[in-house]
Amino acid sequence: MNMPDHKPFATATLRLARRVALPLAFPLLSLLGAPAAFALADTGKAELQAVQGRWADIHYGLPEKQREAAFAELAERAARAVNAEPEAAELRIWHAIVLSTWAGAKGGLGALGLVKEARTELETALRLDPRALDGSAYTSLGSLYYQVPGWPVGFGDDAQAEKLLKQALAINPGGIDPNYFYGDFLSRQKRYAEARTALEKALAASDRPGRESADAGRRAEARRLLEQVVAKLAQGAQ
């Protein structure tokens, strides 16, 4: 949702500006206003687990040069799952995660289009069920907003990113992903003391059943980032 290891798309040119929408203040849906959750069919559950497992295998197991093609293939599978159950927020979230991670592996002019498609999927997932997968749509959408460049190249917006990440934490305060991405966001904002707290929470998060590979990879990322944050604090940064 790394989620995806979203990388900045600095190589996008200014000619893209007129084709990129300005950041939208997506409404943070309250629990009382949330629609009823859509129950995944057995086939949908199986596809969700398969996509999650394959994503972890690619992201944490394949050499970097092989990831783009593997994510492209996985994106097709995730899209088919969405087409089969278009009201399932869980499947849209994971289609978006695959698209955004594929964009990070791809880079260049084509990457921004993939990220825009991922944003649309996440916005749809939030309308369907904002609490799906413990609020993962908020986590993934927040991470897009702080990692994509801002206007005029992309739709990045740090203020919107923080709002979304905080909403994710309100739903899943002890989760590994929302705490990791909030820690990453805070580190990029040079708010190192706050980043350390978030990353320590990520490392203390409980294991997720069936997500052992993804959790191991995320913890490794959190440890590396925490080491960098601690070093900054030791140099006197706040």
For the record, the structure tokens of 49 come out as 């687990």
Characterize 149-165 residue by residue with b for buried, 16 or more Cβ atoms within 10 angstroms of its Cβ, and e for exposed: beeebbbbbeebbbbbb
Contact present, 117 and 99 (Cβ < 8 Å)? yes
- Close Cβ partners of 2 (under 8 Å, ≥ 6 residues apart): 59, 101, 143, 177, 180, 181, 218, 221
Contact present, 2 and 218 (Cβ < 8 Å)? yes
Same domain, 167 and 184: no
Contact present, 48 and 133 (Cβ < 8 Å)? no
* Amino acid 24: pLDDT: 30
Stretches in the chain below the pLDDT threshold 70: 1-38
* Amino acid 38: pLDDT: 58
Same domain, 139 and 177: no
Same domain, 64 and 125: yes
Could you tell me the CATH number of the domain that includes residue 4? 1.25.40.10
For the record, the structure tokens of 103 come out as 């964009």
Tally of domains within the chain: 2
The CA-CA-CA angle for residues 121, 83, 218, to 5°, reads: 50
Same domain, 148 and 200: no
Same domain, 80 and 136: yes
Question: Is 24 part of a structural domain of the chain?
Answer: no
Domain closes at, from 150, 172, 194:
172
- Whether the pTM exceeds 0.75: the reply is yes
Contact present, 233 and 193 (Cβ < 8 Å)? yes
Residue 208 domain boundaries:
173-238
Contact present, 213 and 56 (Cβ < 8 Å)? yes
CA dist 162 and 143 (Å) reads 9
Question: Is 26 part of a structural domain of the chain?
Answer: no
Same domain, 107 and 220: no
Question: What's the residue count for the chain?
Answer: 238
Same domain, 50 and 132: yes
Count Cβ atoms below 10 Å from residue 194 Cβ, excluding itself.
16
Same domain, 53 and 136: yes
Question: Is 220 part of a structural domain of the chain?
Answer: yes
Domain closes at, from 152, 172, 192:
172
CA dist 136 and 171 (Å) reads 9
* Amino acid 211: pLDDT: 95
Characterize 71-83 residue by residue with b for buried, 16 or more Cβ atoms within 10 angstroms of its Cβ, and e for exposed: beebbeebbebbe
